[in-house]
Structure 1
């Protein structure tokens, strides 16, 4: 009886071990990510926020630049949130529907974060992979250039770009993205120094594959894990930077808006007892940041090969 039970337990353990060994790294990472309840809940929240940002305007009864002249005035408290009037989040001090403006502000802030992080990841990954793969003098020159650029105040350069080339959403995309790739370049370079000595890279070199083809087809795909994690943690930083710039009045300009601009406008109305102009955009701002942070932490734990 006992030998049979031991045999059954051994077969079960062997089957479980075979199932684990048969899974790829991405399959294993996906399973471990979905076991992280905080990360999964944050992912659901991000999906809901994205739906609100890109499709929430369809249920708005007023356009974002609609002006209700009966509610204009800095000390107006009549424009409170109300479903009956169609102003779900109330109105701002200019009589504009705050719900429609929050939808647009959330959409622009998400786009700035995602596009800016995408630019930073693409530029930084390619730059760091090239420097790490070729090494030698080229690596020294490229990384010393990164060190010099990192010594320049980031916010000063961004504000200078917006003042010189104009304050627009496009300049925010370019300015934030092209300045934020420096950390990604150093991370990619360090990982490339390890990967380039692997057997599959040496086999590609031995068969005469061009260096840039090796970088794009063999090294960069093996950097995807850390790149994805860094991108999810970089997006909140991009959103914070854009919000700070807009809070100073140098970011998105009227009639467009962002969460930072809405928070700035709402903060100026608190002295008149109007708090909903601050609370609604601040809520979406805080929830979005925390959701990205939790998703990034979940991906970092799931893609860590040491925990596999």
Structure 2
């Protein structure tokens, strides 16, 4: 009898996040993706400490002869070789990985914050306000995303801040629709009705009661949104409108490496492309693991 009571208390004591953590830890692909992301973050944060050259240092003796003198070598200190301009590719890859991660994370945070608040307000208020807000989202979604982003960069300048804001502020539309749908199913629950009955203001209800209950879907969507932001930034940099010299990103490095394939310098494309792919796959695996762990239909 005592064992049954203890077993019942143990089952009742399992919270949503504890159960989700157990599910996530049991997912080998998600754990592998998490390990890969930790490696990429450590490389981006501390890779510069083991680099022998600065990212913008130009070795003029290697310019024009990098196909046979600038190959990857531990002895020369160019672990990943040099790029077309004679700059150390290892240091450039560290910088590119760091900037690409920043663009992805900052863009995803902006999109999630704006989209979640917008969708939560629309779903909670309802009526004509909800209809007007969501029709605005529908109109904005009909405008080509890349065209707007390229236009913003051309008009306001090709700066890193504008790239952050441009990607984030345009990518919140999908998040707003997700948050609005979840809010519609939450606003009629008992704890929200109790807050309304006690006279809590609508804005306080949205921030303290609605948004925290959207945290699960927000975390899942944000992990899947980061690689999408990185792909957008890489495409923009590939077109020459993204990160500008002397800074660089993985997309810009891939663009420069692809232009030198005919010169026998395959490493210029290989190393940035490898870090680009493992970063994307790491986020995708972690996002899928979080989705499976936080999906209420699986519990």
Residue 141 (structure 1) aligned to one of 132, 146, 151: 132
The residue correspondences of 1:20-99 to structure 2 (distance < 5 A) are: 20-73=11-64, 76-99=67-90
1:289 aligns with 2:288: no
Residue 159 (structure 1) aligned to one of 119, 144, 150: 150
In the aligned structure 2, how far is the partner of 1:147 from the partner of 1:106?
Answer: 34
For the pair shown, which has the larger CA radius of gyration, 1 or 2?
Answer: 1
In the aligned structure 2, how far is the partner of 1:209 from the partner of 1:74?
Answer: 71
Q: What is the TM-score normalised by the length of structure 2?
A: 0.98
- 1:124 alignment partner, SS class: helix
Q: What is the TM-score normalised by the length of structure 1?
A: 0.95
Give how far 1:305 is off.
Answer: 1.5
Structure 1: runs of 5 or more not aligned: 1-6
The residue correspondences of 1:101-180 to structure 2 (distance < 5 A) are: 101-180=92-171
In the aligned structure 2, how far is the partner of 1:78 from the partner of 1:69?
Answer: 12
Structure 2: runs of 5 or more not aligned: none
Which residue is 1:4 aligned to?
none
Aligned CA-pair RMSD: 1.3
Which residue is 1:230 aligned to?
221
In the aligned structure 2, how far is the partner of 1:264 from the partner of 1:116?
Answer: 22
Give how far 1:74 is off.
Answer: 7.0
Deviation by residue 1:51-87 (Cα, 9 ceiling, x = unmatched)? 1001110111100011111100276331000111000
Give how far 1:16 is off.
Answer: 4.2
Give how far 1:17 is off.
Answer: 4.6
In the aligned structure 2, how far is the partner of 1:212 from the partner of 1:221?
Answer: 13
- 1:260 alignment partner, SS class: helix
The residue correspondences of 1:198-237 to structure 2 (distance < 5 A) are: 198-237=189-228
In the aligned structure 2, how far is the partner of 1:157 from the partner of 1:133?
Answer: 30
In the aligned structure 1, how far is the partner of 2:155 from the partner of 2:125?
Answer: 36
In the TM superposition, structure 1's runs of 4+ consecutive aligned residues that sit over 6 Å from their partners are none
In the aligned structure 2, how far is the partner of 1:23 from the partner of 1:79?
Answer: 57
1:250 aligns with 2:246: no
In the aligned structure 2, how far is the partner of 1:307 from the partner of 1:15?
Answer: 25
In the aligned structure 2, how far is the partner of 1:302 from the partner of 1:172?
Answer: 33
